[in-house]
Chains A and B, each alone.
Chain A
C-alpha cells in the first residue's frame, strides 16, 4: 500500500518556466509534509515543509500548496533554473511519528 503517491515520475521544463510536482496521501493522521531535493550521489536535503493548518507556504522560488480536503499537496518551482535539475521527493509523517513516508520521486530536468 503506497501511502504517498507522487507524480509525475519525470518532468522537463524550460528555463524560466514553472515546475509543478504533485503528491497525494491517504492517512488523515499525517500532519507534516516536507519536500526534499536530491542531487545524484548525495543525500536528500530539506527544501520546504508545511503543516495542514496553512494552505500555502512560500520560500523564495519554492511554494507548497496544500489541500487538506483533497489530501493533496504540491511543489511549485517558479523561474526554474538548470541548477534546479534534481530529484524531488515529497513525504509525510504523523506528529511525534516514527519516520517519514516518501513518494517515489520526480526527476526534474530544466533545459537552458
Chain B
C-alpha cells in the first residue's frame, strides 16, 4: 500500500457493463502495472506503462483497456468483452533504481 491508492475496494458489475478501476500513486514512479489475481493462478499481467502516454499489452489484455494521461494515474477499464471479469485486480508501480514493485491494496470486482 503506502503511496498507491486503488478505488473502489469492492465493485459489483452487471454483465454487459463497462467499469473503470482507479489507480493513483504519489511515489513519482514512471512505470505502472495492472495485474489480475485469481485463486491458484498467481498474478497475471494485464497492461503496463513505462511512461506517460505510452502503454503495452501484457499477457491477458483482451477485454481490458487503459490510459496513462498523467504520471500519477493509470486507470483500468474492464469492458463487456472480458468474458470472466470476476477477480482481484492489483495496481503496482516500479522503482527503476531498485526494480522493486510496490502494490496497491487491490479492487475486488464481482460480476453479477
Contact = CB atoms under 8 A, between A and B. Distances in A.
Interface residues of A, number: 25
Nearest to A43: B103
Chain A's interface: helix, strand, loop or mixed, by majority? Answer: loop
B81 interface: no
A99 B58 contact: yes
A85 B37 CA distance: 19
B33 interface: yes
A34 B104 CA distance: 17
A53 B43 CA distance: 26
Nearest to B47: A99
A83 interface: no
A102 B42 contact: yes
B17 interface: no
B62 interface: no
A9 interface: yes
Contacts of B105: 42-43
B103 A45 contact: yes
A101 B43 CA distance: 8
Interface in A82-110: 89, 93, 95-105
B74 interface: no
15 contacts: A9-B40, A34-B101, A43-B1, A43-B103, A43-B104, A43-B105, A49-B99, A93-B99, A95-B99, A98-B48, A98-B50, A99-B45, A99-B58, A105-B40, A105-B42
Q: Which 8 A-B pairs have the closest CB atoms?
A: A43-B103, A104-B42, A102-B42, A102-B43, A32-B99, A99-B45, A44-B103, A43-B105
Interface of B: 1, 4, 33, 40-45, 48, 50, 56, 58, 90, 92, 96, 99-106, 108
